[in-house]
Amino acid sequence: MPKPFPMAEPNPVRSSIDHEDPEYAPLSGGAKPEDRRRPTKVILAGLSVLLVIGMMLGFFTDTKPDFCTQANDALLSMTREGAGPRSIPAEAVVRPGARGVKEGVSDKSSRIIAGVNVPSFPWNNSMLSWQRTAFHFQPEKNWMNDPNGPMYYKGWYHFFYQYNPEGAVWGNIVWGHAVSEDLIHWLHLPLAMVADQWYDVNGVWSGSATILPDGQVVMLYTGSSNESVQLQNLAYPADLSDPLLVHWVKHPGNPVLAPPPCINKLDFRDPTTAWYTSGGKWRIAIGAKINKTGMSLVYETEDFKNYKLLPGMLHAVPGTGMWECVDFFPVSEDGLDTSVNGPGVKHVMKVSLDDDRHDYYSIGTYDEKANTWVPDNPEIDVGIGIRYDYGIFYASKTFYDQNKRRRILWGWITESDSEAADVQKGWASLQGIPRTIVLDTKTGSNLLQWPVEEVESLRLSSKEFDSIEVKTGTVVPLDVGTATQVDIVAEFELDKQALGATPEADADYSCGASGGASQRGALGPFGLLVLADDGLSEQTPVYFYVVKGPNGTLKTSICTDQLRSSEASDVVKHVYGSFVPVLEGEKLSVRIMVDHSIVETFAQGGRSCITARVYPTKAIYGAARVFLFNNATEANVKASLKIWQMNSAFIRPYSDQ
Amino acid sequence: MKTPMLPLLLLITQLLLITILPFASADLVDDTCKKTPYADFCVSALRSDSRSSTADTPKLGLIMVDKVEVNAKSTLTKIKDLLPKSPDPGMKQALTSCGELYNVIISMDVPPSKESLTKGDYKFAEEYMTDAATEASICEAGFGVKSPLSNSNDYVNKAASVASAIARLLL
């Protein structure tokens, strides 16, 4: 009969005083003076001794090296080595740091910090209802956030998500559920789990699924308890023969995990999918922090009900703050099952940083025995290096799709319009189009993300444009009709002569620090204008910007520019983007998917990705167009592209018909 | 009688520590407010609430959110009171917008912020209190030159900005 560890208690915080017997009986009357003095001394001495013993017990209960003692030691040594608050890593080799002070605050807060009184735009229902997407996952209404427990089971892809059944803001969180046969055409099912137990009554928060070799499905998730403690819980399908997995059962022995003593009870959440070790046990990782050091704890289990906290921590990075939605998985040029390991297998460590609302990943080596993961390049360690996406993309989570043997990434795309507009339109948030993830074997230092091939089943009519010359300072309309639901694949080539003649640039380029597409350089910006009206009063440029460095080396950035995306001023207007590696002999290639208020960009086969939310007031419905543009001063550009109209995915509630 | 020195010393040390603790919390108010955009405002607002002397940082954030809520509600009452008394159409329009904005603050910003600070997913309090501060600014901007709600808008804007900054410290 397995013993749950730690003991499940209805009230985890309980005073120990209830159970102590009074040590000393009160003095009875009639005691002689000398007798009275001696008891006082005894009481004093006794209490003090108890105090000392208590203190000693507190410090020395566990002589074995345990996680908490080791954690404190490890943190001390980290600080001593001067690994303090994270700094922007050096550029050169791989990728300049994306994190800067200006990006350190949430997109919205930067608006009021600027001290500007932003007038609200008179959004009408027509403008707002246009914003709903045609082929991105979103519930029929209300608020959504993190993707949860994605998996493939008996012919269906399952998707769960953080959902507020009561409104278009975060709160009252439960698990929504939807299924699809192809990751694109989703059918809504009833809520999978609601907040009906003491251990998750304050929130059924994020978690992950593990499919066991014998076909069992295990769901681990964080519950916010009746006392707001973050506890980990186990749930499983009520009926494994139901491919839709509509009903779920919570393990009667929940919770299965509580925060360890050195971890704050509010900094312990988002258990990962489990991986199977060579020792025949399962392991999961859970994100936490101590002070400002984010970390991942690792637990070992055989039955998913009893766990052992392993000493050491898979990884930790000082200065990064709380690690949310930790993800840990092996990568190669093919998708790999989460349990794959071996010499030469690289592992990805990924975290969602609470601190700046961005998802970071790093590639490194997993040492199962030592329970450590070490980044290949510490300068682009987790939290200070590469991001999955340089726009809005958070709380992302991968799963291994055993059906098509690929690793798939889900990411939560929040709104960047005003909250009042969200309330008016009655919904908030999308999920990005699921992406396959593989190791980029050409660079070896980043992942490639690409929309799942099934999205191509939505492609309707297309138009091809071959070798269009786009001269400096020009805009070329592309006659594809309405462009609110389009899939664009484009290639660009800078004029070779101009490229050679252009002198070395005197400065680097950074999308976020730039003036966007209207800031001209010798070799950029050039690309496409999406969600643009004929008069270009509203436009969202997605562009490349090339900078010539020393010895003729070229450095390329990919950016999405929201600065003139809407006449409304109560929407976020940034220039998102990053450096993107372009190897010898490669043309500049980009794929852009436009689906109403979301624009997803994938550069160089998915080396750099940018997701932006766009809220035009004019460039909507039949008025939305697409253009080519070249705002460089020195080099003409040749563009070849194909543009497809995209069908709706008709995401709707499941019905038996 | 021989006084047991060591146990006595230990006991006295313990008692001293117990008396020092409340003062440590009071410093938390100063420490926390220093890291917000309106430090003086933050200190006086927090200290006006007796809970602040023993509050940890999340609770200080909650106290601030309470301030936002209380003042937003009283501002809404003021708006409802002013509306029938305002003949000027521009003023009426601005007041009506403000009414909507303050409804959003009360029903859409305050609840998730409280939930966030209580349950430990602090980024939402940062987000929604920022929204509340913006909404108060938008309300003020709607009046042009003469706003009958300047003090209220200013207070809510400050309180929400401070609450957001406190949540930020917890990330």
Task: Domains for chain B: give ranges and CATH numbers.
Answer: 5-169 (1.20.140.40)
Instruction: Yes or no: say if A396 and A412 are a contact pair by the CB < 8 Å rule.
Output: yes
**Surface of A (313-352) touching B: CB under 8 A:** 321-322
pLDDT, chain A, mean: 88
Q: How confident is the model at residue A655 (pLDDT cuts 50, 70, 90)?
A: very high
A35-44, A83-92, A437-446, A619-628, range with the lowest pLDDT: A83-92
Q: Which residues of B touch A112 (CB under 8 A)?
A: 130, 133-134, 137, 161
Asked if pLDDT for residue A136 goes beyond 60, the answer is yes
Q: What's the pLDDT tens digit per position in A488-543?
A: 999 999 999 999 999 998 889 999 999 999 999 999 999 999 999 999 999 999 99
B153: distance to nearest CA of chain A, Å?
Answer: 12
Predicted TM-score (pTM) of the model is 0.86
Contact between B58 and A266 using a beta-carbon 8 Å cutoff: yes
Q: Is A53 on the interface with B (CB under 8 A)?
A: no
What do you get for the CA distance between the two ends of chain B, in Å?
56
The 3-state secondary structure of A59-78, one letter per residue: HHCCCCCCHHHHHHHHHHHH
Assigned token pair, A452: 């799942």
Residue A85 predicted with pLDDT over 90: no
Strand, coil or helix: what is A427? strand
In chain A, positions 109-128, which contact chain B (CB-CB < 8 Å)? 109, 111-113, 117-120
Distance CA A258, CA A231 (A): 5
Q: What is the mean pLDDT of residues A232-237?
A: 98
* Residue A476 C-alpha, separation from nearest chain B C-alpha, in angstroms: 38
pLDDT at residue A86 is higher than 80: no
Our CA dihedral for A123, A126, A131, A132, rounded to 10 degrees, sits at 130
Contact (Cβ atoms closer than 8 angstroms) between residue A287 and residue A325: yes
**Which residues on adjacent β-strands are paired with residue A639?**
A468, A492
Burial class of residue B18 in the structure, from the number of CB atoms within 10 Å of its CB (0-12 exposed, 13-18 middle, 19+ buried): exposed
- Asked if A363 and A376 count as a contact pair (C-beta separation under 8 A), the reply is yes
Please give the pLDDT value at position A166.
Answer: 96
Residue B150, burial from CB neighbour count under 10 angstroms (0-12, 13-18, 19+) = exposed
Cα–Cα dist A450/A434, whole Å: 8
What are the φ/ψ torsions at residue A477 (nearest 5 degrees)? Answer: -70, 145
Q: Model confidence over A406-445: pLDDT tens digits? A: 999 999 999 999 988 999 999 999 999 999 999 999 999 9
The answer to whether the CB atoms of A117 and B141 lie below 8 A apart is yes
Which residue did the predictor score with more confidence, B124 or B23?
Answer: B124
Exposed/middle/buried for A468, CB within 10 Å: 0-12, 13-18, 19+? middle
Under DSSP, is residue A405 helix (H, G, I), strand (E, B) or coil?
A: coil
A420 shares contact with chain B (CB less than 8 Å): yes
Minimum distance, in Å, between the CA of residue B155 and any CA atom of chain A: 15
- Neighboring chain A residues of B126 at a CB cutoff of 8 Å: 106, 109
The pLDDT-based confidence of B129 (bands split at 50, 70, 90) is: very high
Looking at chain B, which residue has its C-alpha nearest residue A204? B119
Chain A, chain B: beta-carbon pairs less than 8 Å apart: 117
Tokens of A536: 């270009």
Who among A108, A119, A202 is closest to B138 (CB)? A119
Which residue shows structure tokens 């509580």? A258
DSSP secondary structure letter of residue A521? B
| pLDDT in the model for residue A523 | 96
Residues in chain A with CB shorter than 8 Å from the CB of B105 are none
Residue B168 has pLDDT above 80, yes or no: yes
Q: Rounded CA gap, B5 and A353, in Å? A: 52
Local confidence band at A65 (pLDDT 50, 70, 90 cut-offs): low
Q: How far is B102 from chain A (nearest CA, A)?
A: 10
Rg of chain B, C-alpha, whole Å: 21
CB A374 within 8 A of CB A303: no
Q: Is A261 on the interface with B (CB under 8 A)?
A: no
Q: A576 pairs with which residues across the strands?
A: A560
Q: How confident is the model over B8-37, as a mean pLDDT?
A: 76
Residue A110 has pLDDT above 80, yes or no: no
The pLDDT assigned to A248 comes to 98
Compute and round to an integer the Cα radius of gyration of chain A. 28
- DSSP conformational letter for B51: G
Write out the catalytic residue numbers of A. Answer: 146
A227–chain B Cβ distance below 8 A for any pair: no
Say what angle helices B39-47 and B57-82 make with each other, to 10 degrees.
Answer: 90
Task: With CA atoms as reference, report the closest residue to A186 among A407, A393, A452.
Answer: A452
Report CA B15 to chain centroid distance, whole Å: 34
A4 inside 8 A of chain B by CB: no
**Are the CB atoms for B116 and A170 separated by under 8 Å?**
yes
DSSP helix, strand, coil percent of chain B (3-state; round to 5): 85, 0, 15
How many residues would you count in chain A?
A: 657
Question: What pLDDT score does A198 carry?
Answer: 98
Q: CA-CA-CA-CA torsion for B73, B77, B83, B86, nearest 10 degrees?
A: -110
Q: Is the pLDDT of residue A457 over 70?
A: yes
Q: What is the pLDDT of residue A78?
A: 64
Rounded Cα gap, residues A327 and A272, in angstroms: 6
What pLDDT, on a 0 to 100 scale, did the predictor assign at position A117? 52
Note the pLDDT tens digit of each residue in B56-68. 999 999 999 999 9
Instruction: Estimate the crossing angle of helix B110-119 against helix B150-169, to 10 degrees.
Output: 20
DSSP A450-510: EE-GGGGGGEEEEEEEEEEEE-TTEEEEE--S--SEEEEEEEEEE-HHHHHHSPPPSS---
Choose among A383, A345, A403, A377: nearest CA to A150.
A403
Cβ <8 Å between B141 and A228: no
Interface of B with A (CB under 8 A): 1, 4, 6-8, 10-11, 14, 37, 58, 97, 100-101, 104, 108-109, 111-112, 115-116, 118-124, 126-128, 130-131, 133-135, 137-138, 140-142, 161, 164, 168, 171
